[in-house]
Structure 1
């Protein structure tokens, strides 16, 4: 063969070999991406929780979820955890860090359901399935678990009406509605559920969407409502959660209310301070959300997705978000928590012990409620 022709042939063969190698590399990369959810060995699961002002996340959600993940995937499972401290931009950074670390699945309780969508998409592009926990995040999430959020609002509103009736309020009661943050899709569901019960039965004197769910913002809003309506014209307060209820009750006490004179205030999350306020008669009720089934579902979804397994044995329903349709879901039933209910939950997983609740300040209230 002519030397120049031989060089061309060799060059062509070399290029062909490079092309084959590149094709194999692409296939390998695709296989790696596809097998991301089919891992049989040890797993790394990312967990992003939204804030630490509400005690439940560090006290219950995190340890319960970690325990369940290791039960399902083994003690060698790595769990990478970050708390966003109510900052959406920080949570996006935390998510991006976990994506860079190539976690096998990511559980996200979003600070802001919409802003987290870019991180959810980035994870999905890298073959990392995302489980939306407690709040329905936007973007290509693969599973979702929460409580029945409209039912939460209905429980709160029904309890408020009962409390107003017990107080013997005449005519149409005037209430203040302290809803949660507009960045949280759950807040709208609580609000809609509450309105479905309250509308036509009470007069809503003032209504607020409380920025970032912060107790200090609820406190400021309540002071504004008292100033606008007059202290004697507030019969009750719908508060979407316990943290805000604390700020609201502080404002009511500052206006001169005390003890049984405090207008009935609702709540949610069964936080320790709220449980104590309920026992003491300062807060009328809270909502107990069974954390064990909710955290267990998130763990089950994450491990199954990381291993490429089907979710039909975990999911009990499907949920539509603004960006996704038919997301496999598990929804947990919330329960009311009044003075009469506290005793039956004491010491159970996801609730507080008698020692934690019945400090010296609240011992008389505990004795009265039969908590020993």
Structure 2
């Protein structure tokens, strides 16, 4: 009887081992994503095209590199993003990639990440007032603003023409640290022309707090532009140029200008950023002049590279170790290069690179 029971026990253990190995084999053969560890990716919203693209690119590239990915969108709600990050921490994520909604609202939850020794990469938006951020990956956001400002200078030929040209200023959400770089870079180029009265801001709204757009909202920018046009341009004065830090804000400006009677034949010079489909269509229609192209595939590739270097304990690839202070110290940063797209070069930048297809822009 003892021999029989021994055989039964041995057989049972063998079956359990086989089942266990089969389960492991089945899990690994699915996407192969668990071999590198689990990565949490927190994105702010799906409401803006660029964040959807960023999230999808990040997930795809990380999974191709062998990682399991927990991708979450927070619908632009800070409490939701905090909760999602908490779940990533307790759910076994070994590294976090976070594009924050509000860069100053994550210090408490990221203290939990630091206590668990989970590295954090701030993605495109610098996370402020916490020592839990390990690295920052973004585009050169000051240069984004400089490109927009220089485009205005070149298009209006401000170094040759006397002017004056009427200018209005729009940037994004004041709780997005990047806005200070976008607006600062643009004003670094434009301020001297304002001082020389070649550019005149008839609304008088030139301070960052006055020109910020909550949540980068198309609706909010449209309302503000409606008010500016009514108060300052209702007597036949022409608006010549609008600085807009990104495309969602530019879309609201475009809506207001169209409603006020502007057409492609007299539309102001209008800048943007992200090359969202709607804005590229507007560029082709003559109701937006340019958009700074930030190829999310390039940023995703770089972040995946940084993730792998961190996970393997290798030296992490950065190219700026002095510019980005989050209030707790300088964050080692990798800056990708932006470039602008307009009607003359959009095919090369966006179509030939397979970022979009021709059909998407019809």
- TM-score class normalised by the smaller sequence: 0.7 to 0.9
Q: Who is 2:295 aligned against?
A: 290
Note if 1:57 corresponds to 2:51: yes
Note if 1:171 corresponds to 2:163: yes
Q: Who is 1:147 aligned against?
A: 139
Note if 1:218 corresponds to 2:221: yes
2:351 and 2:259 mapped to 1: Cα distance?
A: 34
Q: Provide, for residues 264-316 of structure 1, a one-character-per-residue CA deviation record: whole Å limited to 9, x for no partner.
A: 111000011111111111101100012222111222222332343331xx222
1:111 and 1:205 mapped to 2: Cα distance?
A: 32
Q: Provide, for residues 308-362 of structure 1, a one-character-per-residue CA deviation record: whole Å limited to 9, x for no partner.
A: 3331xx22222432334342221011001111110102335572111211x2xxx
Question: What is the deviation of 1:256?
Answer: 1.0
Question: What's the TM-score, normalizing by structure 2?
Answer: 0.81
Question: What is the deviation of 1:117?
Answer: 2.1
2:202 and 2:144 mapped to 1: Cα distance?
A: 22
Q: Who is 1:335 aligned against?
A: 339
SS at match of 2:265: helix
Q: Please give the root-mean-square deviation of Cα atoms over the aligned residues, in Å.
A: 2.0
- 8 Å Cα contact 1:289-1:335 kept in structure 2: yes
Question: What's the TM-score, normalizing by structure 1?
Answer: 0.79
> 38, 41, 46: which one pairs with 1:47?
41
> 121, 129, 132: which one pairs with 2:111?
121
SS at match of 2:201: strand
Question: What is the deviation of 1:41?
Answer: 4.7
> 71, 75, 81: which one pairs with 2:64?
71
- 8 Å Cα contact 1:123-1:129 kept in structure 2: yes
- 8 Å Cα contact 1:176-1:205 kept in structure 2: yes
List gaps (5 residues or longer) in structure 1: 1-39, 360-372
Q: Who is 1:316 aligned against?
A: 319
List gaps (5 residues or longer) in structure 2: 1-33, 194-198, 206-210
2:182 and 2:72 mapped to 1: Cα distance?
A: 26
- 8 Å Cα contact 2:240-2:267 kept in structure 1: no
Q: Report the number of matched residues.
A: 312
Question: What is the deviation of 1:63?
Answer: 2.5
Question: What is the deviation of 1:263?
Answer: 1.1
